[in-house]
Amino acid sequence: MDYISVNKENMTPTQKKLKVVFADPPFGRESKGEAVTESPNLGILYIIGYAKPRLPNIEFYYLEPFLSMEEHVEKVREIKPDVYAISFTTPRRDLSFETIAKVKELRLDMLMVAGGAHPTIDPQDVLKNTPIEICIVGEGEETTAELLKKIQAKQPVTDVVGTVNLQKNNGVRPLLKDIDFFPAWDMIDFENYDIAVSKKKRMAYLLPIRGCPNYCTYCSNPVWKLEKPWVRQRSPKNIAEEINYLYGRGIREIYLRSDTFNVDIKWCLEVCIEIEKLHLKGMTFQCNLRADKLNDELSQKLSDIHVWLVHIGLESANDRVLKGIGKNATQADNIRTLELLKKYGIKVYGFLMLYNAWEANGKLEHETPQEVNNTLEFARKCLSENLIEYISWSITNPIIGSKLHDIAKKFDIAAYNVKIGNCMRLPDVSEQQMVEHVKQGMILQLLNGIQKGMITKKNKRAAQKAAKILNM
């Protein structure tokens, strides 16, 4: 393929603005209040934020995740873009493929590209099974800007580094060195987004760091693991500027959504100090922390800037399992961190998994029913002692892009259970036992959610889904 499907007649860079539609898959109006519509797609907004000042002759559009399929397709028909660029994760593959097919049926003269977690981890799947012509793998800012520049200049787009097409894999592009810029927040009406747990209504996500230094076996984070360094931090000043901007837009709660805020305690303290200097009245925060890197000083600072909720992947109450899945944190770290946060009045959203598996010395190892009981018991105790405020209980899914996916393939244990979804078939653990444990944790999660006022209208659908599992 050395053609460009963008072939508008008489188009020159000066005469006509290129129209580029970025799209999330359409989850439908009824998805409001679910995880998929908590935040606009930060990947897309970052690409537009980066490209807009560099490519002034391009009009960018964003088809947001809460649109219905009909609305999504209709908008593409109205806009008639030169480029249609969709972003999706693996669990949304089927919906995205359906969307791409429907958009293709419009028979518009446009280039169709895809990016994000799934096209990064499995571009061939996308290229072979959809009319997408180019997949952008990994970080998208520079690659997309170069691709669009080439389209504007009517040059071939087959050899752009960081892209894959059916004929050619152009390799991975080095990561951006400077990540001190903002997503295109000006395209967003925050009224359209809402998260299940927040103190304030006007809420936004913010990314202080890209990547994560760890490599837990079950985690699928392909975009940030293609190239080193695995972690890049923004400057504390730039983060504070973005917070100040969002405050000006009426945002009163920010979730620092990077995988781990406390990768580097010194830097993390500097960020908190810059935030403090802003003196933003009524602003609160949430963040993601790792349990192995928290001390008294940082806990105090987090509390000073009004971090009220911290999300932690505790995963399991068993050191054997934590070691096996490469968590690099022990049960003692988990407990110490929970106690430290309680001391400073910061609440915890604890994420727990059950029936994890890993490989050791060429053999398959997995969490046993007794170990799952330990985790359940630990969760109950932490909830009753107010060490944890909310829990999330999920069966381990060997998602593509994770080490566990390869392990599940090697030992042929990937499975699907109609009651609990994607999971694994583990030797010596019956399906019935697994379902039973899923139910027990779900009941705990639901009852606690109701008690804490979490089962509101916003996440009613999630509660209904959980109730369906419990009825099986």
Q: How far is the CB of 90 from ligand B12 (least distance, A)?
A: 3
130 binds, among ligand B12, ligand SF4, none (CB under 5 to 8 A by kind): none
Q: Which stretch binds ligand B12 (CB under 6 A): 108-116, 297-305, 349-357, 446-454?
A: 108-116
Asked if residue 85 binds ligand B12 (CB under 6 A), the reply is yes
Q: Which stretch binds ligand SF4 (CB under 6 A): 84-92, 215-223, 249-257, 413-421?
A: 215-223
Candidates 58, 73, 114, 216; binder of ligand SF4 (CB under 6 A) is: 216
Candidates 259, 274, 333, 367; binder of ligand SF4 (CB under 6 A) is: 259
Find all residues with CB under 8 Å of 37, minimum gap 6, and list them: 27, 31, 65, 66, 192, 193, 194
Which residues, numbered 340-379, are part of the site for ligand B12 (CB under 6 A)? none
Candidates 26, 81, 183, 313; binder of ligand SF4 (CB under 6 A) is: 313
Q: How far is the CB of 259 from ligand SF4 (least distance, A)?
A: 4
Asked if residue 212 binds ligand SF4 (CB under 6 A), the reply is yes
Which residues, numbered 277-336, are part of the site for ligand B12 (CB under 6 A)? none
- Polymer length in residues for the chain: 472
Asked if residue 401 binds ligand B12 (CB under 6 A), the reply is yes
Q: Residues touching ligand SF4: how many (CB under 6 A)? A: 9
Q: In the β-sheet with 390-395, what is the strand arrangement from edge to edge?
A: 203-206, 253-256, 284-289, 307-315, 347-354, 390-395
Distances from the Cα of 66 to the Cα of 90, 185, 222, angstroms = 18, 17, 25
Q: How far is the CB of 295 from ligand SF4 (least distance, A)?
A: 18
Asked if residue 219 binds ligand B12 (CB under 6 A), the reply is yes
AA letter at 459: N
214 binds, among ligand SF4, ligand B12, none (CB under 5 to 8 A by kind): ligand SF4
Which residues, numbered 244-263, are part of the site for ligand B12 (CB under 6 A)? 257, 259
Q: Which stretch binds ligand B12 (CB under 6 A): 79-87, 313-321, 347-355, 404-412?
A: 79-87
Which residues, numbered 126-145, are part of the site for ligand B12 (CB under 6 A)? 136, 139-141, 144
Residues binding ligand SF4 (CB under 6 A): 212, 214-216, 219, 221, 259-260, 313
Task: Give residues in contact with ligand B12 (CB under 6 A).
Answer: 22, 24, 35-36, 38-39, 41-44, 46-47, 65, 85-92, 113-118, 121, 136, 139-141, 144, 205, 207, 219-224, 257, 259, 399-401
